[in-house]
Structures are given as C-alpha cells and as structure tokens.
Structure 1
C-alpha cells in the first residue's frame, strides 16, 4: 500500500459518489482489495484512487460490464484478458461504424431515380419480394427477426406492406448483400425506424455517427487512464506491496 492513506470518502468525493458505491466497487473486484486498520476500517491508497478513475473512464466507451471485467482482470494481473477485452470493444465499435456506413449507402439508394417505385406501399408480400428479387419466405423470416413489420389486411389477413415497411425491407436487403447478420440488421433498422420519417433519417444518421465518435474518444481517454493504472500496479508489485491480486507485471 502507498504511504498516502485514503478513506472511502476521499475516493468518493472526487467523483461525486457515495462511500457505499466505493465499497461496492471494491467488493465487486473493480478496485483492488484494501488493507484494513486495526479497527477494521478500509485503508485505500493512490492505486485505489487510480483504479476508480480508470473504471469510471472505461464505462462510457466500453460499457459498465466490460469496464468491470477489464478492471477485475487488471487487478489480478491478467494482462492478456485486459487486452482481449479492449480488442473486443474496439472490434464491436468498428462493426457499428461499418453498419452505419452500409445503412448510409442503402439510404442513398432510396433517393435514386428508382426510389418512388421502391417506396410505394400498401402492397402484398409477393409484390415486395418481386421488387427486391427475394422469395416471400425470406421476407417472412425477416418479419420473425423483427426487421420488417407488415400490417395485416383485416378482411383477408394477408400481409400488407406500408411504404415504411417497404423501406425497411429494402434496407435489410442491402445490408444482407453486405454480409450483415440478421440481429445487427434488426438493430440498425430499429434506429432508422425510430427517426419517424425519411426526411428525419439524415439527422438520425448524424446522431449515430456522433455517438460513435464519442465512444471512440472515450476509449482513447480511458486507455490513458488504464495505462497509468497498470503502471502503478506494476510499481506497487515491484516494491513488494500487494495492491490486490497477484499484481501486474509489465515487461
């Protein structure tokens, strides 16, 4: 432990947290295990303060669960797992960026000369399938996956595709041609659908792109904090102290 002794309230105050939250983070393995005073009080040091800064920096870019897993791996000295988790987050971010690019290209097709015909609604499944060169069974599969939401004709119970449903089917077709799995397509089209109209899609895509940029920046900032934490853990371990776990060894 560093000679600088800190109480739970000292760590909590820096981030506007409760002292119980700090204790919970230690119990969850996000912070290294603290030493105890003769009276049983937790005694934190600078390595714990840095661990908390690191975790809170990781959350915006990586999400709470992954950030917690990264800190647990770091605190037990498992650098391979730390790097693997970070790589997985960056790979997911790249996939999201590629999906956004694919949606942007697909929406560009809707503004082409063929768009008025593609976007005509109130048609049955066979008509949509012919327009896209698909089998009706494919559209039914997409419906089960939550990608398209046709209505039902109250008189015949046949599927009726509105203009919005035709748009979603067209986007799904473009994304499938790009090799995207159904679950990712469903998520992407849900964001498009939430825009409410074709005119609002540009704003939706810009918000989506801005969100990805914020995640990227958050990951960069978190990497700096994580590097400081790993370096501090390494120095603590090298000095023969036990900040928690087996200590991190950097070579």
Structure 2
C-alpha cells in the first residue's frame, strides 16, 4: 500500500479510472468521500490509487445503501478504527439481509391471503398479537401501526375493556406486506391502493409482482456491496497505514 501512495495521479486520471467526471471527483473530495488530495506548489491536486479505490467503493455503497448514506459512511470510514469501520460496513449487509427477510415473509403472507381467498378458512384467536408484539416482530414503532390503521392499511380488533389493540393473522399478514412495500419506497396512497385491491385477482398479482421486484432490487444492492468489498478493505487498510505512519 505504501508503494501505491507514492504513485501520483492527476484529477483527470482519477476521474477516468473511477468512472466519474473531474467535477464529481472534486465534489466527492469536498464531501469527505475520498481523502484530501495533496497539493503541489502551483496548487494542482495530486492523488494516489487509494483515491481511485475510495471512489469505486463509494459507487458500490451508493448502489447498496443510496448516495446520501454512502457519502456519510465513506466520510466516517476515514476516522474510524479498522474494527469500527468493518462494523459499519457489516451493518449495511445486515440491513439488506433484514430487508430481504421481510420481503420473503411478505411474500409468504401474500400466498396465505391467496389461499384464504380460495378456501374461506378463518383464523384462530390464539394466533393474535398485541401491538407491542407485532411492532417488535416487524421492527417498526407502535405509532406506525396505529397510523397504518388510521389510513386503512391494516385492521385491529379491540377486545379488552380498555379497548387495547389486538391483531389477528389477517392483520399480521397485511402488516408484513405494508412493511415490505414501504421499504421499497411506495408512499401511503400507493400502498393503500394495493392493500384495498388484495382480495381481487388483479390486486394479488400486482402485489406479488411488486414484492418480486423488491427482492430483485435487494439482490442488486447486495451484489453492488459485494463488488465494493475489496475496495472498501483497501481504503480501510490505507487509512490505518496513514494513522500509524
């Protein structure tokens, strides 16, 4: 890595190698995505191959977590210990894995709804959950469940003298689908339309297609993060070398 730091590159060289414009390289340096370039006596920027790898790592992170989160993470990596930096990157993997798991569960819930529509089978009272149990299972706030209920996305049953919310399996399954759709970026009006049409054949097919696309998006994000892996490791190692030198 020390030899890499001795190689000096112009802004145009870095832009060409990383697939960015010259202005983008300067902007990303200003935002802290890549380390500050050295300056020559005449003021020209001087980069190294580590800067190229940092830009490639940023591209992969942006594909996995979005540009804003990627910029924040890259800026943080330059100030963290190797263990903390690796943990921050691993957190992106964990979020993607959780998103995939929730989308798969939503698919399973949708298939259960399709089965119920064909058989008319009811649910057992013992399968119900409280609002605290359901929010914990879905990883959302209880206030989100209350809001979705007000918006007509899910329906609870109030069975106690205190009218505490209680969710049966149909509501639990609907909530899983809402979580997946909201995670995919769909607004409340779009989710409401989908949920209201679930018991029509066209609505079921639409929801199934959306969840399939959601899983495809998560897979693409995961691949982008995996591609960035070696570049991220190189950036973390270079930052450690700079700290120790």
Distance 2:97 2:114 in 1: 26
Contact 2:29–2:36 (CA under 8 A) maintained in structure 1: yes
Structure 2: gaps (5+ residues):
122-126, 130-144, 156-167
Distance 1:146 1:29, change over 3 A: farther
Q: Which residue of structure 1 lines up, in the alignment, with residue 64 of structure 2?
A: 61
Whole-angstrom distance in 2 between the partners of 1:220 and 1:236: 25
Say yes or no: does 1:24 pair with 2:27: yes
Partner of 2:134: none
SS of equivalent to 1:173: helix
| Equivalent residue in structure 1 for 2:112, among 103, 109, 114 | 109
Matches within 5 A, 1:108-147: 108-115=111-118, 141-144=147-150, 147=153
Match of 2:226 in 1: 220
Question: What are the Cα deviations for residues 132-168 of structure 1, in whole angstroms up to 9, with x where unaligned?
Answer: 989xxxx97534357369xxxxxxxxxxxxxxxxxxx
Regions of 4+ moved over 6 Å: none
Q: How many residues align?
A: 201
Residues 67, 144 of structure 1: alpha-carbon distance in 2 compared, 3 angstrom cutoff: same
Larger Cα-atom Rg:
1
| Structure holding more helix per residue | 2
Task: Please state how far the C-alpha of 1:31 moved relative to its aligned partner.
Answer: 0.8
String of CA shifts for 1:38-78, please: whole Å, max 9, x gaps.
01111111221221122112211122223222222222243
Match of 2:90 in 1: 87
RMSD: 3.8
Query: Is structure 2 residue 8 aligned with structure 1 residue 2?
Result: no
Residue number in structure 2 paired with 1:208: 214
Contact 1:31-1:48 at 8 Å conserved across structures: yes
Structure 1 length normalisation: TM-score? 0.64
Q: Structure 1 unaligned runs (5+)?
A: 119-131, 150-168, 241-251
Of 105-114 and 187-196, the range deviating more from structure 2: 187-196
Residues 109 and 115 of structure 1 are in contact (CA less than 8 Å); yes or no, is this contact kept in structure 2? no
Question: Is the contact made by 2:148 and 2:154 (CA closer than 8 Å) also made in structure 1?
Answer: yes
Change (3 A) 1:188 1:37: closer
Q: Distance in 1 between matches of 2:151 and 2:85?
A: 34
Query: Any conservation in 1 of the 2:29–2:35 contact (CA below 8 Å)?
Result: yes
In the TM superposition, residue 226 of structure 1 has moved relative to its aligned partner by 0.7
Q: How much does 1:30 deviate?
A: 0.9
Q: Alpha-carbon deviation of 1:211?
A: 1.4
Aligned residue number for residue 184 of structure 1: 179
Indicate how the Cα distance of structure 1 residues 109 and 33 shifts in structure 2: closer, same or farther if over 3 A, else same: same
Partner residue of 1:247? none
The partner residue of 1:50 within 53, 57, 61 is 53
